[in-house]
């Protein structure tokens, strides 16, 4: 299933669920837990059925008998065992006269009876507040036909999507329970902890655990065997959400309710292999007296205190930072966490703490993140990465990355990393740490994907000539059958279209030679050198330019042919001789637009891989780490000292020069936009006339 199809399913499910909410008496904060509970059941059944099939297939037979399946079998397969009454499909089949709320509660209780870690966690009484009919609608909404044939962890992505949407609407805990997946994924891949204790002292909905497990699974290891998930969270409802999130992904974790400022209920100081967290920024309610007593977790000194005996908001960030470092296992522990941007350069007591932290040699990297990554906080943030097992050669320097210009706009207010942007930022770390082969593998992947896309693109481009020639013949044959004025207009439009068509054919003749040069330059195989991959990418550059020109010419050609067809129809309608002869413009427009959509889709895919490969090779041409203006820099202790031990990347990496587009490029882009508007305007006028005509027919009146 394509990513776009999954995105469409997620959005459709959310929109339907929201419609149902508006038709109930529940507010968002009352509605989100029952919905997440039903999604939990639906996802649990999906994983259960897949696991059962796998278990049955691999179950050993002894003496002609197969032993029964156990809960442990399902846990090993990344699922939870479900009794018959806990199956979501049974809820879907319930008739309206059945009390759905009681059946749902029974399903939840059945799971809780089988799993002690879920006792009292799953939503139950909340369903008594929903009308039976509304419950039926919700249950069916979350079980569309398209989801019954899916494979992989699509339900996990749907579950995460709903968490995202509920966070955006501040349905619970002001939205702070959820860290955007984009940041969670990046943090987990930066610290790469595959064994031991993963700890989140402000665990929210448990996304850090899920992503760590996902990363371990991708590398062919069983997360339930390799990782232990421990967390603390102050909000009891959020703990329920986190445990459900873990369970729905076939995981278990020990998450305790505690105030992490003062408490360490897991006794984890100096024991954590991987710390990942997104704590509340700038806390203003920390009792300084209690903090002073906790020497184990605040080992760099007490942050600044206000006149009320509370830790200041700036100091509150450093309570977190000090604690995070103290939890990490000496000699090997690694941590990644989200922090307010203001913390990197805070003065006073915080500067002293920061200096001591830097002097430990455990600060590995700081990454600045653009605004818009959080659904409830529009401000920018920083990602801090600590490593208590760094080699001596890395201890007296910090890698600074300014990623403020690296993001993809999802909406007008929400940003995230695309997979390629995430990989490109990770590549900086790989080169810095000397993992050159990983960097080359990424470049090779981009080149291979771009090459594969080129073959498909070339086939699509060739098909456009056939459709274009057909339209050209229609217009040529019509020129002699229309009045002279329309004939002149048609000829003018056709001449311009022919020029664009000739340009397109010229581009097509160049493509095979470029492809030949590409294949002759190097055969894509494993373990290519940097020079070989760079050569491949440079050969692709003319193709990128030609494809852009082809798309531009096709858009002009499309506009001209549509205007030609409209002129022919208009002329025929005015002529007594050809009055009944009308071309089905809609059919041709649909055909042309499908071709254009295919062209743009394939060019977009090719460009994505080519552009990201170019992004890397332009900045790191020798496949070795180098400081890049406006992006990254290695900063030593002496320079840090000169900047009062600030850890703000922007202070060190400088500002990248902005490339100003040529006036001709801007004009061409505006021209294309204008052409699109003309086409849409023409369609709008035709549609408006059609609506008026239909309305007149219904009302039995004549149009003026």
Question: Given this model, what pLDDT does residue 3 score?
Answer: 44
Residue 101: which of 133, 67, 65 has the closest Cα? 133
Instruction: Please give the Cα distance from 261 to 285 (Å, whole number).
Output: 10
Q: Which residue is it, tokens 């060190």?
A: 652
Residues 6+ apart with CB under 8 A from 314: 282, 303, 304, 342, 343, 346, 348, 350
Question: Given this model, what pLDDT does residue 399 score?
Answer: 98
More confident residue, 294 or 16: 294
Answer CATH for 3-159 from 3.30.70.141, 1.10.260.40, 1.10.630.10, 1.20.1260.30? 1.20.1260.30
In the 8-state DSSP scheme, what is residue 270? T
Comparing 316-330, 385-399, 492-506, which segment has the lowest mean pLDDT?
492-506
The average pLDDT across 114-131 equals 88
Question: Given this model, what pLDDT does residue 434 score?
Answer: 93
Query: Does residue 109 have a pLDDT over 80?
Result: yes
Residues 6+ apart with CB under 8 A from 674: none
Share of the chain above pLDDT 90, in %: 38
pLDDT band at 173 (very low <50, low <70, confident <90, very high): very low
For 409, list phi and psi in degrees, rounded to 5. Answer: -75, 120
Share of the chain above pLDDT 70, in %: 79
On whether the CB atoms of residues 139 and 91 are closer than 8 A, the answer is yes
Burial bucket for residue 17 (CB in 10 Å: 0-12, 13-18, 19+): buried
Task: Give the pairing type, strands 363-369 and 397-403.
Answer: parallel
Residues 6+ apart with CB under 8 A from 456: 602
In the 8-state DSSP scheme, what is residue 97? T
Q: Which two tokens stand for residue 360?
A: 């430990």
**CA distances from residue 548 to 325, 562, 584, 659, 665 in whole angstroms, order as listed:** 50, 22, 30, 19, 11
Question: Given this model, what pLDDT does residue 600 score?
Answer: 84
Q: Which two tokens stand for residue 594?
A: 């499908």
Residues 6+ apart with CB under 8 A from 436: 430, 623, 624
Question: Given this model, what pLDDT does residue 523 score?
Answer: 53
CA atoms within 13 A on the CB side of 53: 6
Q: Which two tokens stand for residue 195?
A: 């064994």
Query: Does residue 576 have a pLDDT over 70?
Result: no
Domains of the chain: which residue ranges?
A: 3-159, 173-434, 440-624, 671-704
pLDDT band at 582 (very low <50, low <70, confident <90, very high): low
**CA distances from residue 475 to 342, 374, 588, 634 in whole angstroms, order as listed:** 65, 54, 13, 64
Cα 292 from chain centre: 41
pLDDT band at 196 (very low <50, low <70, confident <90, very high): very high
Query: Does residue 480 have a pLDDT over 90?
Result: no
pLDDT band at 149 (very low <50, low <70, confident <90, very high): low
More confident residue, 157 or 70: 70
The average pLDDT across 249-253 equals 85
More confident residue, 250 or 640: 640
Sequence-ordered strand ranges (E) for 533-654: 632-636
Query: Does residue 9 have a pLDDT over 90?
Result: no
Q: Which two tokens stand for residue 581?
A: 């002869």
The average pLDDT across 47-60 equals 86
Residues 6+ apart with CB under 8 A from 614: 537, 541
The average pLDDT across 490-513 equals 76
The CATH number of domain 173-434 is 3.40.50.150: yes
Question: Given this model, what pLDDT does residue 621 score?
Answer: 92
Instruction: Please give the Cα distance from 676 to 673 (Å, whole number).
Output: 5
More confident residue, 418 or 656: 418
Query: Does residue 271 have a pLDDT over 70?
Result: yes
Comparing 82-96, 140-154, 157-171, 566-580, which segment has the lowest mean pLDDT?
157-171
Question: Given this model, what pLDDT does residue 389 score?
Answer: 96
**CA distances from residue 332 to 192, 245, 275, 325, 386 in whole angstroms, order as listed:** 12, 28, 12, 12, 10
Q: In 333-435, where does DSSP find H-type helix?
A: 349-359, 419-432
Residues 6+ apart with CB under 8 A from 478: 490, 564, 568
The average pLDDT across 339-357 equals 95
Question: Given this model, what pLDDT does residue 16 score?
Answer: 62
For 599-637, b/e burial (b = at least 16 CB within 10 A) is beebbebbbbbbebbbbbbebbeebebeebebbbbbbeb
Instruction: Please give the Cα distance from 135 to 156 (Å, whole number).
Output: 22
Question: Given this model, what pLDDT does residue 633 score?
Answer: 98
> CATH topology for 440-624?
Butyryl-CoA Dehydrogenase, subunit A; domain 3 (1.20.140)
Question: Given this model, what pLDDT does residue 175 score?
Answer: 36
Specify the 3-state DSSP secondary structure of 18: helix
For 173, list phi and psi in degrees, rounded to 5. Answer: 50, 35
Comparing 401-415, 575-589, 596-610, 647-661, which segment has the lowest mean pLDDT?
575-589
Q: In 59-196, where does DSSP find H-type helix?
A: 71-76, 88-92, 100-114, 132-141, 154-168, 181-191
Question: Given this model, what pLDDT does residue 68 score?
Answer: 80
Specify the 3-state DSSP secondary structure of 274: strand
Query: Does residue 11 have a pLDDT over 60?
Result: yes
Question: Given this model, what pLDDT does residue 334 score?
Answer: 98
Question: Given this model, what pLDDT does residue 22 score?
Answer: 67
Q: Which two tokens stand for residue 178?
A: 């959820």
pLDDT band at 604 (very low <50, low <70, confident <90, very high): confident
Residue 632: which of 645, 615, 646, 619 has the closest Cα? 619
Cα 184 from chain centre: 11
Question: What is the average pLDDT score of the chain?
Answer: 82
pLDDT band at 501 (very low <50, low <70, confident <90, very high): confident
Residues 6+ apart with CB under 8 A from 301: 349, 352, 353, 356
The average pLDDT across 349-354 equals 96
Residues 6+ apart with CB under 8 A from 684: none
pLDDT in tens, 427-451: 999 999 999 999 999 998 998 888 7
Comparing 85-89, 263-267, 381-385, 527-531, which segment has the lowest mean pLDDT?
527-531
Top mean-pLDDT range of 175-179, 274-278, 577-581, 590-594? 274-278
Q: Which residue is it, tokens 């400022």?
A: 261
């Amino acid at each position: 299933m394509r990513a776009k199809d999954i995105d469409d399913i997620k959005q459709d499910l959310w929109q339907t669920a929201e419609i149902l909410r508006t038709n109930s008496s529940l507010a968002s904060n009352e509605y989100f837990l029952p919905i997440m509970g039903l999604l939990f059941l639906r996802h649990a059944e999906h994983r259960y059925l897949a696991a059962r099939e796998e278990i049955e297939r691999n179950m050993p037979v002894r003496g002609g008998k197969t032993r029964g399946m156990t809960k442990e079998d399902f846990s090993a397969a990344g699922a939870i065992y479900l009794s018959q009454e806990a199956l979501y499909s049974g809820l879907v089949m319930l008739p309206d006269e059945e009390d759905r709320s009681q059946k749902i509660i029974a399903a939840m209780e059945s799971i809780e009876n089988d799993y002690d870690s879920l006792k009292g966690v799953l939503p139950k009484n909340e369903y008594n507040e929903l009308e039976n009919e509304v419950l039926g609608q919700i249950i069916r909404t979350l079980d569309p036909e398209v989801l019954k044939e899916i494979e992989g962890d699509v339900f996990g992505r749907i579950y995460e999507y709903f968490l995202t949407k509920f966070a955006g609407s501040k349905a619970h805990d002001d939205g702070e329970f959820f860290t955007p997946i984009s940041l969670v994924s990046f943090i987990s891949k930066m610290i790469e902890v595959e064994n031991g204790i993963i700890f989140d002292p402000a665990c929210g909905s448990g996304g850090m655990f899920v992503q760590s497990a996902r990363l371990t699974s991708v590398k062919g290891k069983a997360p339930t065997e390799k990782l232990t998930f421990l967390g603390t969270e102050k909000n009891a409802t959020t703990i329920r959400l986190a445990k459900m999130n873990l369970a729905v992904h076939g995981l278990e974790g020990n998450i305790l309710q505690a105030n992490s400022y003062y408490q360490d209920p897991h006794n984890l100081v100096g024991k954590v292999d991987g710390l990942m967290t997104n704590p509340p920024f700038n806390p203003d309610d920390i009792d300084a007296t209690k903090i002073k007593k906790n020497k184990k977790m605040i080992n760099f000194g007490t942050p600044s205190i206000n006149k009320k005996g509370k830790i200041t908001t700036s100091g509150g960030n450093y309570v977190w930072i000090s604690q995070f470092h103290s939890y990490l296992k000496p000699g090997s522990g690694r941590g990644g966490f989200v922090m307010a941007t203001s913390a990197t350069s805070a003065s006073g007591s915080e500067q002293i703490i920061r200096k001591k932290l830097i002097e430990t040699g455990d600060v590995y990297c700081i990454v600045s993140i653009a605004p818009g990554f959080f659904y409830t906080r529009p401000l920018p943030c920083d990602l801090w990465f600590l490593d208590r097992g760094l080699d001596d050669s890395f201890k007296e320097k910090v890698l600074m990355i300014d990623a403020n210009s690296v993001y993809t706009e999802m909406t007008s207010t929400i940003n995230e990393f695309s997979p390629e942007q995430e990989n490109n930022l990770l590549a900086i770390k790989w080169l810095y740490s000397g993992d050159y082969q990983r960097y080359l593998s990424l470049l090779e992947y981009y080149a291979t994907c771009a090459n594969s896309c080129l073959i498909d693109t070339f086939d699509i481009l060739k098909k456009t000539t056939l459709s274009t020639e057909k339209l050209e013949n229609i217009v040529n044959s019509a020129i002699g059958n229309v009045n002279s004025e329309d004939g002149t207009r048609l000829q003018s439009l056709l001449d311009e279209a022919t020029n664009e068509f000739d340009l397109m054919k010229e581009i097509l003749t160049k493509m095979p030679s470029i492809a030949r040069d590409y294949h002759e330059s190097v055969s894509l195989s494993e373990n290519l050198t940097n020079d070989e991959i760079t050569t491949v990418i440079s050969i692709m550059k003319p193709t990128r330019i030609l494809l852009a020109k082809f798309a531009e010419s096709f858009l002009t050609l499309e506009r001209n042919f549509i205007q030609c067809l409209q002129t022919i129809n208009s002329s025929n309608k005015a002529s007594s001789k050809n009055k009944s002869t009308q071309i089905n413009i809609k059919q041709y427009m649909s055909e042309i637009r499908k071709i254009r959509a295919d062209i743009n889709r394939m060019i977009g895919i090719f460009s994505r891989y080519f552009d990201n490969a170019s992004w890397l090779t332009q900045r790191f041409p020798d496949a070795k780490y180098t400081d890049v203006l406006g992006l990254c820099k290695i900063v030593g202790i002496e320079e840090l000292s000169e900047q009062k031990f600030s850890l703000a990347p922007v202070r060190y990496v400088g500002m990248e020069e902005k490339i100003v587009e040529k006036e001709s490029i801007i004009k061409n882009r505006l021209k294309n936009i204008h052409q699109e508007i003309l086409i849409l305007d023409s369609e709008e006028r035709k549609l408006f006339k059609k609506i008026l005509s239909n309305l007149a027919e219904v009302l039995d009146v004549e149009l003026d």
